[in-house]
Structure 1
Amino acid sequence: MDMENERVLKLIFPNGIPENLRGNPELDNYLAKLGTCKVDQLKKEQTRLADETKRILEQTQELAISNYKTFITTAENSRSIFNEFQKAEEQVDTLIGKLPAFSGKCEQFLEHSAELNEQRRLNSTTLHKNAQLLEILELPQLMERCIREARYEEALELASYVQRLGQHQGHLIPVVNSIVRSVEALWHTMLVQLVAQLRMDLQLPKCLQIVGYLRRMQAFGDNELKLKFLQARDAWLTSCLEGIPTVDAQQHLTKTIEVTRINLFNIITQYRAIFPDGEQAVGKSSNLKSLQGVSCNGDRLFQAWLHNKINAFLLTLEADLQRGVSSIETVLGQCMYFGLSFSRVGADFRALIAPIFVRVVSQKFETSISHVNQNFGQELDKFTLINKVSLHTRKHLDAAAMSTDPDSESYAPPETLLDFYPLAVLCNGYLNALNELRLCAPFAVATDVTGCLQKSLQLVAQRVLAFYRQEQQAFTGNERETFVKLCSCLAYDLVPYVQRCIHGIFPPQLITVHLGISLLQLEQQQLTFLQQTQILEPLKHLLPTKVLIHTTMPAVSTTDPTNAPITAEG
């Protein structure tokens, strides 16, 4: 709008342009038209406008009258439309109020549907991978079955696979973690089962196989594995030994020697095959005394175990020998073979066996002589010198004593002992003890045997002297003469005969060779020689004048003395 039009509008509307005319495009056209009018036309313009307004009003009234129905309908429609718009506006307001909650529900639905979709995808993947998943889920059951059926190779492979699976997926997948824990529990079960199998009777290939499995399991270090192996095999060996009946000492000892020799040798062979690094150490342990006090680690572990097993056997040997066995020489032969066989593995323990037999043989002989001494004392207490003069009967001699064999005759007991029953009983007791000793007579007991007989004969002489002192006042001439003959029989018959029997069991020639000394030195050292002077010292004033037989005995045959006993009656 230009400046002229604005000036015209101010003139027309001094109070301002009405609101309904502002922005009306017709206003500018009308002002342009007014600018073209002349003054007369401008004067008439107001009248024309009033007339035209009147005419438009009249036309409008006529239109309203003629079309009132239309106007009524239009008004009603307008009112209806207005009401509908109000309702629509209210519903739109309600919809706008509910849209945030609906939007939230939609978002929740989208999230839930996404989860459902992911679960459906996982289910589909699971269904597609069903076979592979079943293989993984059944790993514990499969491993349990392998262990139950002793298929340890497959069980170890499964355990290794599950261990790798757990390292890669265990921290992400809980079910894999659960499988790993189950397999680890079964792994420990297999470990216990393998160690338990070592407590059974196994051959070398099976032992190698089981220890190979234990090594692959890496459950024990090298020294721990050696210790477990020895403990398990020791338990099996102990169970075998405990199963031997202990009623009969001979059978128990014989069976113990056999079981210990066979099974202990098998264990040593198995150990050396499984742990070859310890072979050198075992080879150096030939002297078992050097094994005492070793520490239980490394290569010395096996040496200490073997030393303990041999010590246990030696204790059993000594205990059974003390109980009494019927054939010591048989047991000795078996023990020596046992010790000799172990020399192949550097564990020859025969030097430890010999002292036990020497001690047992010596104790057994001493016990027998002690009983002989008791029996002699009892018989001497019952002995009487009445009607005991020069009987010299032979009817009670044993047939073996009557043998014409020179070797047997040289050891036949003196016939004069038959005149004196206590001396005959004493001689029989000595012969029984010596015959029992003869079956197993080690040279190491020669001095003990001689000393035991020396003490026994001294005790006999003292008891004879006590008998004389007790009865001498009542002696008659014949009884005194008989008593002197009893003393002479003891001194000049029994004592030399006992000496001859000792040398029959322990020939001086063999002892001199064994000791590397001469026969004279042997006599000077009083080895296997009775000291007759000391024995007869209590009775020397009762003996008739006679030169005592020298203690040096002539060379005798090495044939063992006859085991024929002397029997005599008073």
Structure 2
Amino acid sequence: MTGTDGELSALQDLLSQSQSALQAPENVAYLTQLSSLPLSDLLATPAALTTQSHTITSSLTALTHTSYPTFLSLHKSSTALHDSLSSLDSSLNTLLDTALPALDDAARVFREKSGPSVIEERQKTRVVLEQQDKLRDLLDIPILIDTCVRNGLYSEALTLAAHATNVLVALCTLHSKEEEYMSSSLQLTRSLQGEMASSLHSMQLLLLNTLFESSKKLPALWKAVQFLRRMQAMSEDELALTFASARIECLRNRENQLDRQADDVSRFLKRYIDAWREGAYDIITQYTTIFLERSHAGGPLASTSAAQPNPVIKQTLLPTLLSLLLPPLRTHLGRAYPHLAPLSTQLAYCSSAMARVGMDFRALLSRLITQAVVDGFTRDLRMGPDREWNVTLSKYASSKNKSAAPSTWLVSAVQPLPSLSTLVAQSSAPAHVPPELLTSFPPLAISLNAYLRALNKLRLLAPFDAVNGVISALESSLSKTGQELFTYAMECGASDKELDILRAVGAAYARVMVPFLRRAVVEGVFGVPNTSQADGDKMIHTMSGSREDNALEIVLQKWENWLGDGT
């Protein structure tokens, strides 16, 4: 019992010295197990524990002898770990005391210096991300506008441009309150507006080029002008002036394509007049429809701009168109004298058609046609009677050679010489029937036939305004013929018989041929009735001038004086 009590006291002392050990879960479980064991087991426990202790001690001793290198290495590692932990502790103390405050100061300085720019870039990036869809649409719009312009979709191009402008204005308004965004927004706006302006400028050039195409008619021109109005690239006056200039240039190019050097002048004039009539009529009707009548058309743009172009443009348009027609007519109309009748009919139709659109120029045509008739008739006289008479005189009455006797060429050998009393004009005879007395004088008959051929051409187109010019040309030709014949009579130096022939020829010229041709012009060509020879002479004198200034009257007076002296 004494031994048992000693062991118990020793156990109690052990347990009292290690209160913390008793609180360990495994010790509590062991003590609980001990309290549940029977006495025999409890008595055998010390011996079992002693045996286990000796066993463990033997095992540890054996382990120490067999694994001492491991223990040495473990000791060395433990020492190194202790040193490392000490170094780590000093390093951490240094970091906490020195490095971290310095890092905090450096971070604060960095934030103060670069923080605003980083924040600004971040805010810009955020704005870009928020407006990404709108920006993508805006960046695609210039390409879409250019594609629409290239494919002729002008309405869609203008719609896209208007949409882009509205979006850009909205973006600028959104960011105008934040000054830091203004620079980038304005830069983007300027870039997009520049690209759109380039595409719209190309569109404007294409639309203006449409106005210069001769093949374009009113619908295409109307659309082009409407698009130009929507673009507001120019004022209404500038647009109207551009349209008129473009269409006039088209008409001028079309007329320049005609062969002005063609031999057939009448065919050239016919084609030229037709081209001018069609072009001028189209220009006036197109200008009136597009610029003057658009307020009555009821279109979508009719109410947006009621301003009409300056009336001066319409007033100057008509003279400009006439300047394309009248100069070629003045130049070529006289050369087309044999075909003046159909050309005058064509010009009358042209002037009537243009009068329906407010362009009546018939008064100007009358002067041109009259002058062309006079010039053509004068040229016929020069190329016909005058040339034949010059050929005859050069053959028989040349100044270089001795002149032939009057009986050899002035009178007919098969007909008797008429007396002077019979050589008078018959006022009762028809104006278109030549006197038979002149058949006794072949040179005069040949000359009369040449005059009648010229008068027959004149009858195809004989405007009454040309009567003065025609009579003047006829009298000029007759005066030249009479003067040359009178000079031959004065210089011939013939015998009395030859002088009688010269007097008969002079009387036939002065009293028969000249009055007949005058009547042929006044009555036969222009249809002015004369009741008597005196009335006819009075009308001739009124149209051709006074007797003192008229060369033919002077020549006739010379012949009458010479004939009177001879009788």
Same fold (TM over 0.5): yes
**Structure 2 gap segments, 5+ residues each:** 1-77, 173-181, 297-307, 397-403, 416-427
Matched, 1:526 2:546: no
Matched, 1:140 2:142: yes
CA-to-aligned-CA distance 1:53-85 (integer Å, 9 cap, x gap): xxxxxxxxxxxxxxxxxxxxxxxx9xx999987
Q: Which residue of 1 aligns with 2:517?
A: 498
Matched, 1:332 2:344: yes
Give TM-score, length-normalised by structure 2: 0.66
Q: Is the 8 Å Cα contact of residues 388 and 482 (structure 1) preserved in structure 2?
A: no
Evaluate the alpha carbon distance shift between residue 202 and residue 392 of structure 1 in structure 2; reply closer, same or farther with a 3 A threshold.
farther
Matched, 1:219 2:238: no
Matched, 1:251 2:267: yes
Q: Is the 8 Å Cα contact of residues 211 and 246 (structure 2) preserved in structure 1?
A: yes
1:338, CA displacement in angstroms? 1.2
CA-to-aligned-CA distance 1:406-458 (integer Å, 9 cap, x gap): x9986343444455444234323322322222211111111221122223222
Equivalent runs, 1:185-204 vs 2, <5 Å: 185-200=198-213, 201-204=215-218
> AA paired with 1:273?
T
Q: Which has the higher helix share?
A: 2
Q: Is the 8 Å Cα contact of residues 431 and 516 (structure 2) preserved in structure 1?
A: no
Q: Is the 8 Å Cα contact of residues 335 and 376 (structure 2) preserved in structure 1?
A: no
CA-to-aligned-CA distance 1:152-181 (integer Å, 9 cap, x gap): 111110111122122222555344432221
Equivalent runs, 1:346-365 vs 2, <5 Å: 346-365=358-377
Q: Which residue of 2 aligns with 1:423?
A: 444
SS of residue in 1 equivalent to 2:563: coil
Q: Is the 8 Å Cα contact of residues 144 and 186 (structure 1) preserved in structure 2?
A: yes
> AA paired with 2:369?
F
Q: Which residue of 2 aligns with 1:457?
A: 478
1:373, CA displacement in angstroms? 3.0
In 2, distance between residues paired with 1:180 and 1:425? 86
In 1, distance between residues paired with 2:519 and 2:135? 95
CA-to-aligned-CA distance 1:264-317 (integer Å, 9 cap, x gap): 11221111112226999xxxxxxxxxxxxxxx9711211112122113311121
> AA paired with 2:209?
A
Equivalent runs, 1:111-122 vs 2, <5 Å: none
Evaluate the alpha carbon distance shift between residue 122 and residue 346 of structure 1 in structure 2; reply closer, same or farther with a 3 A threshold.
closer
| Higher RCO (CA 8 Å, separation ≥ 6 residues) | 1
Q: Is the 8 Å Cα contact of residues 240 and 309 (structure 2) preserved in structure 1?
A: no
Q: Is the 8 Å Cα contact of residues 392 and 416 (structure 1) preserved in structure 2?
A: no
Q: Is the 8 Å Cα contact of residues 446 and 506 (structure 1) preserved in structure 2?
A: yes
Equivalent runs, 1:74-473 vs 2, <5 Å: 88-89=89-90, 92-93=93-94, 96-99=97-100, 102-103=103-104, 133-169=135-171, 172-173=184-185, 174-200=187-213, 201-248=215-262, 249-276=265-292, 298-371=310-383, 372-383=385-396, 384=404, 385-388=406-409, 391=412, 411-472=432-493
1:494, CA displacement in angstroms? 1.4
In 2, distance between residues paired with 1:348 and 1:546? 60
In 2, distance between residues paired with 1:218 and 1:419? 85
Q: Is the 8 Å Cα contact of residues 482 and 555 (structure 2) preserved in structure 1?
A: yes
In 2, distance between residues paired with 1:221 and 1:95? 79
CA-to-aligned-CA distance 1:313-348 (integer Å, 9 cap, x gap): 111211121444541111111111111122222221
Query: Number of residue pairs matched?
Result: 431
In 1, distance between residues paired with 2:414 and 2:460? 31
SS of residue in 1 equivalent to 2:137: helix
SS of residue in 2 equivalent to 1:348: coil
> AA paired with 1:241?
E
**Structure 1 gap segments, 5+ residues each:** 1-76, 281-295, 395-406, 513-518, 548-570
SS of residue in 2 equivalent to 1:464: helix
SS of residue in 2 equivalent to 1:526: helix
Evaluate the alpha carbon distance shift between residue 427 and residue 436 of structure 1 in structure 2; reply closer, same or farther with a 3 A threshold.
same
Q: Is the 8 Å Cα contact of residues 147 and 190 (structure 1) preserved in structure 2?
A: yes
Q: Which residue of 2 aligns with 1:484?
A: 503
In 2, distance between residues paired with 1:423 and 1:230? 59
Evaluate the alpha carbon distance shift between residue 145 and residue 87 of structure 1 in structure 2; reply closer, same or farther with a 3 A threshold.
closer
> AA paired with 2:556?
L
CA-to-aligned-CA distance 1:201-222 (integer Å, 9 cap, x gap): 3322222222211111111212
Matched, 1:539 2:559: yes
Evaluate the alpha carbon distance shift between residue 181 and residue 205 of structure 1 in structure 2; reply closer, same or farther with a 3 A threshold.
same
Evaluate the alpha carbon distance shift between residue 468 and residue 279 of structure 1 in structure 2; reply closer, same or farther with a 3 A threshold.
farther
CA-to-aligned-CA distance 1:337-375 (integer Å, 9 cap, x gap): 111122222221101111111122212222333443354
Evaluate the alpha carbon distance shift between residue 97 and residue 312 of structure 1 in structure 2; reply closer, same or farther with a 3 A threshold.
same
In 2, distance between residues paired with 1:187 and 1:176? 16
Evaluate the alpha carbon distance shift between residue 124 and residue 337 of structure 1 in structure 2; reply closer, same or farther with a 3 A threshold.
closer
In 2, distance between residues paired with 1:379 and 1:412? 25
In 1, distance between residues paired with 2:322 and 2:558? 49
Evaluate the alpha carbon distance shift between residue 500 and residue 183 of structure 1 in structure 2; reply closer, same or farther with a 3 A threshold.
same
Q: Is the 8 Å Cα contact of residues 204 and 270 (structure 1) preserved in structure 2?
A: yes
Moved more, 196-205 or 150-159: 196-205
In 1, distance between residues paired with 2:293 and 2:198? 33
